[in-house]
Amino acid sequence: MRLLVGLSGGVDSSVAILWARERGFDPVGCLLVMRAPGPDVPVPSPRAIERARATCEGLGVPFMVRDVGEAFFERVMAPFATAYARGLTPNPCTLCNRALKVEELIRAADEVGADRVATGHYARLVEGEDGVVRIARGRDGAKDQSYFLARLSPEQAERLAFPLADETKAEVRRRALDHGLPAASEADSEGVCFAPDGDYRQVLERLAPESLEPGPIVSEEGKALGTHRGIASYTVGQRRGLGLSGGPWFVKEIVADDATIVVGHGDQPKVARLELVDVTLNVDEGALEAIPVAVQTHYRATARPVSLRRGSLGTAEATFTEDPVLAAPGQSAALYSEDVVIGEGTISSVAFA
């Protein structure tokens, strides 16, 4: 069976294509080049592209490159900048996986006659009793990436394969070293991939300069307390770097219309309730009452039990039934039932405990 393997030049996708080769598939390596307007940060880097090419050559596997720079700008970078200009804290990786990477890899798979797309994600696929294929947590809890894939539709999930589902990062590194893969000793990538030196503000300087303009910091009562350095530099719940006396203070609200930061007095609060928009579910609404539901608000967070109440037009309200969490408007909220992803939404507002 022909299998398209999405490559990045990193160790995880390199071992994924090794896995495909060892198991008798007819693999094709495909790398998406996401160079986009703005700061000249090629994604992946030229070195990473050459590592991917060398990996395929060493394994005797065809290698193809697709330029998706224009789509990357329109579907990922522009929404990222728009969100910051609205006072939100976006997560571009979850958007990129559904709106760009997986979609483009499936399109490439169709072109070369591949049934499935394999990636180097640490996640699993499970088929429920209803026949629906869903994303689930991978074996390595420290590296699990199901949160980043929570936006994927069941139709997209059906076309995927996760060779590293039952692997740990240490095992993947060891396999890469044993086989002499070019990426064996490369460090993991972190942060926003298209930001120069990891500083997303350099992207916003070009795409949303208004989000970096100074403005007032006021108390909940409207008293002027200071000046901020641009709403994009702050997140709801933030308590450090405010530069205010008489604290402790925390960011309670970001008002984008007049570029105002509203702060509350006291220790950093946690969130007891989330309002979600753009909610997608891969289970019937009736099933929500019969299964445990938990929400994970960012990559390294622990999913916490919630009571989920659906609204109209893709909205929902998630009330935490145990400990409150840290969360901010704009972040992705992955919905789980035990280890299985059952949906996703974007946090529109929060209510503090």
CA distance 316 to 323: 19
Count, residues in the chain: 353
State the Cα torsion 6-7-11-15 to the nearest 10°: 50
**DSSP annotation of 291:** S
- Give the model's pLDDT for residue 188: 84
Is 213-265 in the same CATH topology as 2-196? Answer: no
Which CATH superfamily groups domain 213-265?
Adenine nucleotide alpha hydrolases-like domains (2.30.30.280)
Is the separation of the CB atoms in 246 and 320 below 8 Å?
no
Non-local (6+) Cβ contacts of 294 within 8 A are 303, 304, 305, 306, 335, 336, 337
Can you name the residues that pair with 2 across neighbouring β-strands? 26
- pLDDT tens, residue order, the chain (353 aa): 999 999 999 999 999 999 999 999 999 999 999 876 655 677 898 999 999 999 999 999 999 999 999 999 999 999 999 999 999 999 999 999 989 999 999 999 999 999 999 999 999 999 999 999 999 999 999 999 999 999 999 999 999 999 999 999 999 999 999 999 999 998 887 778 888 777 899 899 999 999 999 999 999 999 999 999 999 999 999 999 999 999 899 999 999 999 999 999 998 789 999 999 999 999 988 888 889 999 999 998 999 999 999 998 999 999 999 999 999 999 999 999 999 999 999 999 999 98
Q: Over the stretch 115-153, which tens digit does the pLDDT of each residue have? A: 999 999 999 999 999 999 999 999 999 999 999 999 999
Catalytic residue, candidates 30, 56, 93, 193: 193
**Domain assignments of the chain as residue spans, ordered by start:** 2-196, 213-265, 271-352
CA distance 211 to 180: 46
Is 193 a catalytic site residue?
A: yes
Amino acid identity for residue 237 in this structure: G
Q: What angle do CA 337, 164, 4 make, to 5 degrees?
A: 105
CATH number (1.20.120.1770, 2.30.140.10, 3.40.50.10860, 3.40.50.620) of 2-196 reads: 3.40.50.620
- Give the model's pLDDT for residue 172: 97
CATH of segment(s) 271-352: 2.40.30.10
- Give the model's pLDDT for residue 135: 98
Q: Burial, 317: exposed, middle or buried (Cβ in 10 Å; 0-12, 13-18, 19+)?
A: middle
Catalytic residue, candidates 30, 56, 93, 96: 96
CA distance 99 to 77: 12
3-state secondary structure 241-264: CCCCCCCCEEEEEEEHHHCEEEEE
